Structure 1
Amino acid sequence: MPQWLNTWNARLAKWLWWVVLLGIVAALPVMYARVQTETSANEVAIVMDYRDLLQVGNSQANPQAFVQEQLKLLKEAGVNGMAVFESTLEELSWDGEVTVYNSTQAALLEGRVPPPEDNGTYVVFNRPEHEQTLRPIIEWAFRHHGAEVTNWSVKDHSGLRLNMGYDDAYIHAMQPNPIAMGMLKDAGFQIVPRLSDRFDPFDAQEVDKWLQSFKELGVTRVLFDGEAVTGYGKGIKFGGVQRFASELKKHGIGVAIFENLKVPQKGMARLANLLKYNAIRAHSVGEAEMTVIKKPVLEDRLVLAVKDRNIRLLYLNAAAVKDSAKGQISHPLENIVDVLKGDEESESVGAVQQLKEFGFELGVPKAFEVHKAPQEMILRGIAALGAIALVALTFGLFIPSLLLPVIVIGGIGGAGLYVLSSTLMVQALALFAAIAAPTASVVLLIKRIRVLRESAEDQPISGYRRLGGAILLLVRTTILSLAGVPFIVALLNHISYSLVLQQFRGVSLLHLVPIGLVALYVFLYGAGNSVLGNARRILSMPLTVLWIVGIGILGAAGMYYLTRTGNAGQVSGLELQFRSILENTFGVRPRTKEFLLGHPLFFVGIFLALRYRWAMVFLIAGTIAQLSMVDTFAHIHTPLLLSLIRIFLGLGIGVIIGLVIIAAWQICEKIWRRWKSSGQAA
């Protein structure tokens, strides 16, 4: 490379660090605005699935009395909402409103032989006072579904004949039961309707009537049932989602978004955007889970969902299960009550009380009030420049001569990508900054350790000096690693990330690339040879069985490590118990791979590497902690303040564990030296 280019690269590197610092400063107001947003809505709804309650009641001797008793117990325990699905004939029969017959049963009631061509469904209204409300709902729904509806009566009971097969008619959707919703409202519950996309075509006029009735009941939010939001399947031709969003806005009703669905509900991101993000996050405990989950685990799960993931609606399910051991039908409703209000047997205060202790209260959940920093777009632009500078500086640590070309190409490429897709650009830049920060910090640490070790070749550094140096170097490295955090927060500061409608992309890369780059730097850079010389030396080494076994172990460890990354990481039952202990002890759970593995390895690695060259391998493994701290903030749905507490708590515990290991090492080293010297003297 020309000498002038090397000179410019050296000068540019100094200026780029100032750009990085400027970007961090610009990101701080944006971070503060996010904290304001995350603390703007602390009301939580605990919602029970009313259909499940009816289904469980249908297994009891007196269903209606059972349901009313359970409603009272759930209300006292803290359940303040009921989810009401679109009605079906099955659900109305559970509620005692109708009795449904097939053609054969109807014929027997009338004392006649059913004609073979009759496969209709016959409905009788059990409560004459409710017929005026339910009849038009059933008539409209089945005519909309394409079935002919005619009047029918038997033994002084009026009803309807539906020209649809019994099994088919039994599960077809109708308007949510207004009688049940009125009863639940009077009982003190907030109503959360669950709507579907099962009506084709989308009827805006009918939906307007539904939403108006919801509004009169105080409904502020709806959930969705099925794989898509209402109107989605008709969106291309009829603009169903847009029209549905318009109706919701007209009535001041927002939505709730279930987390961790195998497949996100189609149309949700667009609907939330059209509603200007009048949305909250919901967490559901499924029917199958609820039958087997332990009470302490369920309690921790509900509290953590609200506290750690900005959940504002807890959705509880229940199911009647045949218990062959007891020879009876069992259900989890009693366990739910114990989990919410506390259980004297397990000395638990209950999920509701825990939420109150953490500053949350039961109520009608509201969407976050989005706060913006003054001149936020300008500040985010400066932060983006800082992120580009950080990425370029990291690249320059490996190939210094290309620093200037990289910053130019990166700036032009970033601008071009922003024009094509601003979302893709900020996500890519956030990922690159997240990778660059821990990589640069550890590489600079390695360079510094090499300088200190070389300067002390004549007289090794004492243990106390190494300990003090290790602490200072750990602090410096941690600060530089965390320099990537403001860039992630500023670049991805949008409510859609908090609602997980958009996410930080590239978690696996973030967990692998820094470790790989640090290992590359340790083995190829330094040792008095060129990069190519070190590469040739490594490649010319003989391949032994030990090497093959080592590579296999590293590969298996890497695969296990990847299964632990991201929101879907696999966790054993034993670790869940360990996590619960940590949560109950500290109030905030530090990340296990940081305080138990990464930080101790990294701290001990710095201490040993100041004297022993081979100890660099500990720094490679300990890079896990540095990148994990940055990754903590890539979970945008976790409150920012909680993430800060989590990483510093993990760092503190990790340092304590590291000090214990260092003390043990020093003791063992002294014993070894005495034994060795005594052996030589003999």
Structure 2
Amino acid sequence: MFGVEKKDRFKLFLFLLAVIVSLGVFGYRLFAEQLNMKVELAYDYEDVLLLQAYTGQSQAQVLKMLQRAGVTSVVVPEDTLNNLTRRGLANLITGEQLLNMSRFGQIQNQQLLGLIRSSDITPENSYIMIDQVAAFQRAQNALINDLGAERAKVNGRNIIEVRGQVDNLGGIGLGLDETILANLSIYKFQIIPKLVNSRRLDDVSLGLKIDTVSALTPVHTFIFNGSEVLGYGNNLALVAEKMRKNGINYGVIEFFQQKGSLSLAEHLSGYNIGVHSIPAPQLQRLTKEQAIDRYVLAAMDRGMRILYLHAFVNDALATDLLAYNEEFISALKTRLERRGSTVTPIDQVTIGLDPLVSLIIGIIISLGIVSAGFLFLRIFNKNLPDGIFKWLLLGMLLLDIIFLRLNYFSQWRALLALLVSIIFPTLAMLTQLPKENSWQPDKMNFHKVLFLILRIVGITMLGALLIIGLLSDSYHLLKIYQFRGVKLAFGLPLLIVAFYYFMYPYRIKSLRFIIKRFLQSKVTVGYVLAGGAALAFFALYFLRSGNYQLPLFNGEAAMRNFLGYILLVRPRTKEFLLGYPLLVFICYHLGRAIDYRYKWVFYTLAAVAPVSLLNTFCHLHAPLWVSLLRSLNGLILGVAIGCFVSWGYKVAEKIWRYIF
């Protein structure tokens, strides 16, 4: 690959520079991941109340259990009229309901009777009665900030009158209950506020809300309730500025789409932290072992740093729900610690490159990609004029500038990463496998086979390094941005490999004639079966790739769990059961068991290995050590299976010849 003539030295320089820069990013990622081997176990306060209700235990007993089991933090939802009403701390009634009750003499509350006697009740208005002085004061201030002093007025000792119809009155955020915070501080829990958005809040009120919550107790992370993040509408920049000023991280909840989440995360580069939660209804359908597997996978494979826990309240799981929940949390903590994580509150996150550094690195790598792309094109045309490289380089620089000026450079880097994911696995397969029909399998030994496979892996890993360099910003590492074009990255290399080896070396000149002859061929049963098999393979291949997967085959889940337990990180099935074994089998049996006419079919199937290998590193949210170990496990297991199959084939062949 690097037998370089003088005219190619500049191309090599650009490529090596891109690789060296990517290696630097690789090292930084490994260092940052070691600093971030912390996991925070956060429990929802609403679930504390739920466990109280289901078990009949006091809140103190539930909190002691959580402390004993290893919970580090408690998520405290911001009070709303809805949850105050559920807890029996508030009553919300419309003027129309109040008048109807008055007509029938159904009002027993003296304060409401006094309200009716002392003022005109308007049917369209709402009346909120809160007995606790502190809660009343918080509600009054919050409603005035949200609705204005003209619409939210005190009408009696503990009654607030809200004038006119108000959308989502019961969902307006009323701040955090200081009594709850004081109680939680006794047990040394970190507080994670779960705040509610309102588009009616102006800049001053919104800033005051953040400052007030931040001052109540040491807070390091906010998450948000409902379908919107705080500030969605027109105040996201202000929210980000206030959070940054107070040193508060934004907890990005995995798989939960909230309006404004992406924009807020972009404003808070360096202050984003991944949160994984299993929704409470879904949790009740799982056992504690299944839930632990999901949480551990989220922390270790996807880099989620806060695990947001809910209570098991399904009576069918256990007779003693408090003990069952304690066992669940304790076992989760133990599993995380055995995998090298420290369970502790997280106040600072070190993840992703600085945006400016990421931009500079992206430009350097883009020029290296031009060199790799030119080499790739040379495979198809050895006489490709050198002047084309200069035009490609100029075009790349112009595109870098254009996307930078349009503020779409992140999307441009993602497009370059997709290009890398297509070029390098294909390049590995086109340059390292035998092209001529003079392969001598009898002269192959294990060292030669392994060296050939390692060359394919090495070229592919160069592409993986470039992708790591391109996409190691906090947005990709937290899945705020995701690698795009997964299906294209999986499919196009296979099609290019199939086309190249089917046409090589002379058929390309006769391509038009071959296509014409193929279209005029009679359709036989063999063609139909071959076409059906190809369609079935690609359908299965694509459906088992990416985020939308087919159900697992019988026994496959057990095999995956077993491999994950034995090898720590489960290798990709398509690598160790298809790609690598086929590469080994090709080396030992090409020209013998594999007819030269059909080598393109086997090469295409074997290309699954480098394609899948590189795709592993396109999961930017996964820690690098996980991706490296997954790839190494796939390589070792796949080569071992390939050697066993090849040996088994030779033995079976000898037995067949001996008998027949």
Please classify the TM superposition score into its range, dividing by the shorter chain length: 0.7 to 0.9
Distance 2:336 2:396 in 1: 44
Aligned residue for 1:256, secondary structure, equals: strand
Q: Does residue 24 of structure 1 match 2:19?
A: yes
CA contact (8 A) 2:564 2:570 kept: yes
Aligned residue for 1:450, secondary structure, equals: coil
TM-score by length of 1: 0.83
Distance 1:577 1:201 in 2: 52
Match of 1:3 in 2: none
Match of 2:565 in 1: 584
Pick which of 597-606 and 204-213 moved more.
204-213
The alpha carbon displacement at 1:217 in A equals 0.5
Match of 2:108 in 1: 109
Aligned pairs (5 A) from 1:512-661: 512-526=491-505, 530-532=509-511, 534-536=514-516, 538-572=518-552, 575-609=556-590, 611=592, 612=594, 613=596, 614-661=598-645
CA contact (8 A) 2:362 2:413 kept: no
Distance 1:68 1:99 in 2: 27
Give a deviation string over 1:93-144, Cα, whole Å, max 9, x none. 344433455636685224879999646555444545x456545346536744
Aligned residue for 2:40, secondary structure, equals: strand
1:434 to 421, 424, 430: 421
The alpha carbon displacement at 1:473 in A equals 1.6
Letter in 2 for 1:232: Y
Distance 2:336 2:582 in 1: 36
The alpha carbon displacement at 1:472 in A equals 2.5
Aligned residue for 1:655, secondary structure, equals: helix
Aligned pairs (5 A) from 1:272-671: 272-318=265-311, 335-341=324-330, 350-365=331-346, 366-368=348-350, 381-402=363-384, 404=386, 406-421=388-403, 422-446=409-433, 449-451=434-436, 453-454=437-438, 461-462=441-442, 465=444, 467-526=446-505, 530-532=509-511, 534-536=514-516, 538-572=518-552, 575-609=556-590, 611=592, 612=594, 613=596, 614-671=598-655
Distance 1:167 1:201 in 2: 14
Q: Does residue 249 of structure 1 match 2:244?
A: yes
Match of 1:347 in 2: none
Q: Residues 296 and 197 of structure 1: is their aligned pair in 2 closer, same or farther, counting only changes over 3 Å?
A: same
Where do 5+ consecutive residues of structure 2 fail to align?
Answer: 404-408
Q: Residues 671 and 529 of structure 1: is their aligned pair in 2 closer, same or farther, counting only changes over 3 Å?
A: farther
Aligned residue for 2:184, secondary structure, equals: helix
Q: Residues 531 and 317 of structure 1: is their aligned pair in 2 closer, same or farther, counting only changes over 3 Å?
A: farther
Pick which of 538-547 and 163-172 moved more.
163-172
Pick which of 413-422 and 546-555 moved more.
546-555
Pick which of 167-176 and 631-640 moved more.
167-176
Distance 2:508 2:152 in 1: 87
Match of 2:76 in 1: 84
Q: Residues 304 and 380 of structure 1: is their aligned pair in 2 closer, same or farther, counting only changes over 3 Å?
A: same
CA contact (8 A) 2:358 2:472 kept: no
CA contact (8 A) 1:599 1:654 kept: yes
Distance 1:229 1:529 in 2: 56
Distance 2:211 2:360 in 1: 41
Distance 1:197 1:581 in 2: 45
The alpha carbon displacement at 1:426 in A equals 2.3
Distance 2:91 2:121 in 1: 22
Letter in 2 for 1:151: N
Q: Residues 28 and 371 of structure 1: is their aligned pair in 2 closer, same or farther, counting only changes over 3 Å?
A: same
Distance 1:29 1:415 in 2: 22
Aligned residue for 2:479, secondary structure, equals: coil
Distance 1:204 1:367 in 2: 28
TM-score by length of 2: 0.86
Distance 1:332 1:189 in 2: 22
Q: Residues 409 and 445 of structure 1: is their aligned pair in 2 closer, same or farther, counting only changes over 3 Å?
A: same
Distance 1:503 1:145 in 2: 45
Aligned residue for 1:483, secondary structure, equals: helix
Give a deviation string over 1:128-182, Cα, whole Å, max 9, x none. 5x456545346536744985444346xxxx4445457899544443223333233
The alpha carbon displacement at 1:633 in A equals 0.8
1:267 to 260, 265, 268: 260
The alpha carbon displacement at 1:594 in A equals 1.2
Give a deviation string over 1:596-655, Cα, whole Å, max 9, x none. 222212221332225431344222112111111111111111112221111011100011
Q: Residues 330 and 546 of structure 1: is their aligned pair in 2 closer, same or farther, counting only changes over 3 Å?
A: farther
Letter in 1 for 2:470: L
CA contact (8 A) 1:525 1:534 kept: no
Letter in 1 for 2:485: G
The alpha carbon displacement at 1:523 in A equals 1.1
The alpha carbon displacement at 1:487 in A equals 1.1
1:136 to 106, 126, 140: 140
Distance 2:532 2:196 in 1: 50
Q: Residues 403 and 35 of structure 1: is their aligned pair in 2 closer, same or farther, counting only changes over 3 Å?
A: farther
Q: Residues 471 and 375 of structure 1: is their aligned pair in 2 closer, same or farther, counting only changes over 3 Å?
A: same
Aligned residue for 2:74, secondary structure, equals: strand
Pick which of 39-48 and 114-123 moved more.
114-123
Distance 1:331 1:592 in 2: 40
Letter in 2 for 1:417: L
Distance 2:243 2:602 in 1: 56
Give a deviation string over 1:423-476, Cα, whole Å, max 9, x none. 333222222122111101111233xx234x42x6xxx542x6265543322122
Letter in 2 for 1:250: K
2:155 to 136, 148, 151: 151
Distance 2:607 2:392 in 1: 26
Q: Residues 93 and 117 of structure 1: is their aligned pair in 2 closer, same or farther, counting only changes over 3 Å?
A: closer
